[in-house]
Amino acid sequence: MLILGIDTSCDDTAAAVVENGVKIISNVVSSQTDIHKKYGGIVPELASRRHIEMILLVVDEALKGLGAGLEDVSAVAVCYGPGLIGSLLVGCSFAKALCFSKNIPLLAVNHLEGHMFSCFLEEPHPELPFISLIASGGHTSLYRVDGFGKYRELGRTRDDAAGEAYDKVSKLLGLGYPGGPIIDKLASEGNPKAIDFPRPYLPESFDFSFSGLKTAVLHFLKSEEKNSKLQTTNSKLAKDIAASFQACMVDVLIRKTEWAIKKEGIRRVTLSGGVSANSELRKRMKEMGDERETEIFIPSINLCTDNAAMIASAGYHHFLNKDFAGAGLNPKAYLPL
């Protein structure tokens, strides 16, 4: 069964075709980074306008190579939230029109469920139950997953998401957007022990809190003397700040995941969302898995950040459950899993 997935939740216009929820036939992502980077973050109005310009081209590209094109597709799965409302509206309206014109079923997928299912697009697949850590630009949450639709949130961020903290620290350092990949690279050349930033462990809770860590970087930079040393973004100090910030972030994400493994007694973990592209996090998570005899599943980099293959994969299960959406589907900026 072929499912066409569509995701326009943020600043990437994405479409993909996936067979039986696991095999990627095509996976097309049109990035808007060049449009937003000069503003140091996503401008929602520009994002939705660009989605309108790109959606037809991206969907066409994803369908290329299928014999009859859309006629081969059993259903269209669209991300209907959470995300930027104007951006979501473009994908949802487009998907509804496609389904109406071709008389094919529509499937409504939560973006976070999509990230969770990105781990099923490559071999080996995790068996149930598993612990799922989703760390992206908009969310950071830990779930216990007992089956499709059976998710129990163990904890979530009380303020900034992990990726948001990366983006804000990058901005504080005068670096570009998105900050995650930039800090990741810079950190690899710095000393992670150079600055002792706080590690917000929030004992007795699976919740996260990263805004204090970001503010600690801000206070550190306030000293004019230190600011002057930062003049070149490649300075030793900038590298040390990046490495020290990242060490805190990774320590917290790993420690919470370890607690979840212990408390739930589950030795399988999936890591997904844009921050799971982070080289240090991927390395440390695998090391932790080896130490704790726990299987760790992390998708390839292109499946960590936003894509529509993950939406089609989750959509497949909605199809099997006959959980179809109607023409009345409305996007939702806030949509808990």
CB neighbour class for 139 (10 Å; exposed up to 12, middle 13-18, buried from 19)? buried
Torsion of CA 18, 19, 21, 23, to 10 degrees: -80
Of the two residues 21 and 180, which places its CB atom closer to ligand KG4 in the complex?
180
- Helix, strand or coil for residue 78? strand
Rounded least distance, CB 162 to ligand KG4, Å? 7
- Helix, strand or coil for residue 222? helix
- Binding residues for Zn ion (CB under 5 A): 136, 306
Rounded least distance, CB 210 to ligand KG4, Å? 11
Measure CA of the first residue to CA of the last residue in the chain; give whole Å: 25
Structural contact between residues 79 and 88, judged by C-beta atoms closer than 8 angstroms: yes
163 binds, among ligand KG4, Zn ion, none (CB under 5 to 8 A by kind): ligand KG4
Handedness of CA 191, 159, 134, 76 (dihedral sign): negative
Rounded least distance, CB 33 to Zn ion, Å? 14
Of the two residues 118 and 294, which places its CB atom closer to ligand KG4 in the complex?
118
- Give residue 219's identity as a one-letter amino acid code: H
Q: How far apart are CA 70 and CA 73, in angstroms?
A: 5
Of the two residues 2 and 271, which places its CB atom closer to Zn ion in the complex?
271
Using only C-alpha atoms, the chain has a radius of gyration, in whole angstroms, of 20
Of the two residues 117 and 259, which places its CB atom closer to Zn ion in the complex?
117
Of the two residues 105 and 257, which places its CB atom closer to ligand KG4 in the complex?
257
Of the two residues 167 and 258, which places its CB atom closer to ligand KG4 in the complex?
167
314 binds, among Zn ion, ligand KG4, none (CB under 5 to 8 A by kind): none
Q: How far apart are CA 245 and CA 268, in angstroms?
A: 27
Rounded least distance, CB 86 to Zn ion, Å? 17
Q: How far apart are CA 193 and CA 33, in angstroms?
A: 32
Rounded least distance, CB 301 to ligand KG4, Å? 8
* Secondary structure letter of residue 325 according to DSSP: B
> In sequence order, what are the beta bridge partners of 157?
208
11 binds, among Zn ion, ligand KG4, none (CB under 5 to 8 A by kind): none
Rounded least distance, CB 95 to ligand KG4, Å? 18
Rounded least distance, CB 264 to ligand KG4, Å? 24
Of the two residues 141 and 170, which places its CB atom closer to Zn ion in the complex?
141
Tokens of residue 208, six digits? 């996260």
β strands within the chain, DSSP E: 2-7, 12-19, 23-31, 75-81, 106-110, 130-135, 140-147, 150-156, 268-272, 295-297
Of the two residues 182 and 266, which places its CB atom closer to ligand KG4 in the complex?
182
Torsion of CA 208, 293, 288, 306, to 10 degrees: -60
Rounded least distance, CB 276 to ligand KG4, Å? 8
277 binds, among ligand KG4, Zn ion, none (CB under 5 to 8 A by kind): ligand KG4
Structural contact between residues 248 and 279, judged by C-beta atoms closer than 8 angstroms: no
- Binding residues for ligand KG4 (CB under 6 A): 10, 136-138, 163-164, 166-167, 178-181, 184, 273-275, 277-278, 305-306
